[in-house]
Chains A and B, each alone.
Chain A
């Protein structure tokens, strides 16, 4: 009987075999075995449960859960719990100064309202344009820089450090820089196009231009990132591939186009996913550009509209609905990506 309690104790305490008495531990087990297979039947229910769980999930499952389960739950609460809660809120009519939404009456009113809201449609279109143009442009610039830097140049580290520098800055900070560059009277942007006799242009005031001006600024900030990812991809390609292509008589341009770039598929996919996510977070940049919730006309995206509707206009449920649309867009990008990584055993 004493034996049973000792077993039970061992089964319950998560740190069994830890520190104090593993030697006696071993002794206990051999005592148990010595009393014959009949002793099996008095196994504690807890131990049996633990053994069953371990059998199902692997030997260290229970013991290792102390490491990953609490953080996983914390993250799960703040990420998945919040998304589900957000979905729920988007089905209510929550607005104004009420402390909490009324969950008794759920409907899709906020979503039908969004479809009828031309501001929402514009923001959604702008978001798509921003995502596609920003991602494609940044990847192209990053790839070009990576290829140039990978040609065995001197001061490689210096160049790399410079290209990546903007990435270390906050959107709030870079917004200030670009505000200054794009300002109508004495901004650099107008001086530059002035050289070729164009402009001046109201970069942030013209509805047709402002979105692209913002995309350009974001490309400036993140092309260094794309470069770093591509550089890692290029470094993984064996030299023989370059040499083989050279021997085959391919021109430099052809070599990159036909031999090297196709091998950067993995780098392109992971960089594109991350860039799209950055693009969706462009809120910080647009907010700082104007120091408020309303971005320049023509540059409103779902991220800014969502925050504005919720925090400026107190249209909480409507904001939540817009957030769900944004979340759906993100899911459409990362869902396939995660499946792709899972298939390649990269998780």
Chain B
């Protein structure tokens, strides 16, 4: 078990005469036993970051330390890490038992019977004991996944690295393995870095999540903090499904003026905005409420229902401020509402956008100027 420290890690590739920056000055420190999920869209540098930690890519600049020991120049096999790959990368000519013993045989001088015992124990823990003598080609995708996991676990490394290990499984199995992986990591207490593009995995599995975009670290924090207090517009849009609503607005006194609506703000919010006038107003779909009555209260708007997507437990509704306006202009508001609320296309409804749930971003830098506070969000849940 160990701590892991990335200090200004940078990776550049040479592509012809062009220099491509894959990872740009990323710093983060991961605590002993922590489960960190690194998430981002494809090409954001998350896999490259992981591969640098593994020693599979050289580090262009910055230092990487495991337990305060700088390992930039230490070869992969001497870093005492284990990695689970997306393709599982099992050795096809070896049985499951041989696959799992391989790492112990190569990296330790343990006697054979000791290795055997450890493999059997790990097999039991993962429920793959009956498969130990089979070849990988005889196993299902889920079983191969477990073997890949077992191969990493049995080595009892300082750090686990996982590169989208669940993405080749079907949805149901993926949900199961998600829980199981968390449980295992909890039991073993091994520092884990987990790379994924799947925000559900990011939100549910990690102690903290690190969000990368364009090779740069956008935010690293607890999942709920990232969700409710995103550092910038990218993080806000990346987490959450359906995505947060954004409206370009301009600050005018104590009002946010958009193309089709005006939104009055209180002193607290106004204070956060300072001198910036070009802003983006953000509101999560689940924070939007459909209420009775007309739109005469400041934060309530009369809207037309454009599309309803029933999901069963809830409905996703697409609302328009002005039914005649072009939908491209950002005049659409997405709201998720209770599955039993009846609305249908063409209805006129009143939408309430509560002021304590809005986010305001700097339109130029994308930086979050005002976020809903996590305490407020928690209060609301308690009340309900």
Direct contact of A and B (CB under 8 A): yes
Q: 0/1 per residue, A69-100, Cβ < 8 Å to B? A: 00000000000000000000000000000000
Cβ–Cβ < 8 Å partners of A29 in chain B: 69, 74, 78
Contact A23 B108 (CB under 8 A): yes
Contact B78 A22 (CB under 8 A): yes
Contact B69 A25 (CB under 8 A): no
Cβ–Cβ < 8 Å partners of A51 in chain B: 73
- The yes or no answer to B344 lying at the interface (CB within 8 A) is no
Q: 0/1 per residue, B54-97, Cβ < 8 Å to A? A: 00001000000001111001110111100000000000000000
Query: From B107, which residue of chain A is reached at the shortest CB distance?
Result: A22
The answer for the CA separation of A34 and B80 in the assembled complex, in Å, is 17
Contact B78 A26 (CB under 8 A): yes
The answer for the CA separation of A8 and B73 in the assembled complex, in Å, is 16
The answer for the CA separation of A20 and B80 in the assembled complex, in Å, is 16
Query: From A23, which residue of chain B is reached at the shortest CB distance?
Result: B108
- Size of the chain B interface, CB-CB below 8 angstroms: 15
B contact face: mostly helix, strand, loop, or mixed: loop
Contact B109 A25 (CB under 8 A): no
Q: Given A17-B78, A29-B69, A30-B69, A23 and B107 touching (CB < 8 A)?
A: yes
The answer for the CA separation of A34 and B107 in the assembled complex, in Å, is 23
Cβ–Cβ < 8 Å partners of A193 in chain B: none
Cβ–Cβ < 8 Å partners of B79 in chain A: 26
Bin chain A's interface residue count. Answer: 10 to 19
Contact B70 A33 (CB under 8 A): yes
Contact B73 A26 (CB under 8 A): no
Query: From B57, which residue of chain A is reached at the shortest CB distance?
Result: A59
A residues 9-37 touching B (CB-CB < 8 Å)? 17, 20-23, 25-26, 29-30, 33-34
Cβ–Cβ < 8 Å partners of A30 in chain B: 67, 69
Cβ–Cβ < 8 Å partners of B77 in chain A: 17, 22
Contact A21 B109 (CB under 8 A): yes
A258 to chain B, nearest CB (A): 34
The answer for the CA separation of A33 and B75 in the assembled complex, in Å, is 15
Most chain A CB atoms below 10 A, which of B67, B68, B109: B109
Cβ–Cβ < 8 Å partners of B73 in chain A: 51
The answer for the CA separation of A341 and B292 in the assembled complex, in Å, is 72
A89 to chain B, nearest CB (A): 43
A199 to chain B, nearest CB (A): 61
Query: From A32, which residue of chain B is reached at the shortest CB distance?
Result: B69
The answer for the CA separation of A142 and B70 in the assembled complex, in Å, is 61
The answer for the CA separation of A25 and B75 in the assembled complex, in Å, is 11
The answer for the CA separation of A56 and B78 in the assembled complex, in Å, is 21
Contact B80 A17 (CB under 8 A): no
Q: Given A22-B107, A23-B108, A23-B109, A17 and B75 touching (CB < 8 A)?
A: yes
Contacts from A to B (Cβ < 8 Å): 17, 20-23, 25-26, 29-30, 33-34, 51, 59
Contacts from B to A (Cβ < 8 Å): 58, 67-70, 73-75, 77-80, 107-109
5 smallest CB-CB distances across A and B, nearest first, come from A33-B69, A30-B69, A26-B78, A22-B107, A17-B77
Pull 5 A–B residue pairs with CB atoms less than 8 Å apart, ordered by A: A17-B77, A17-B78, A22-B77, A25-B78, A59-B58
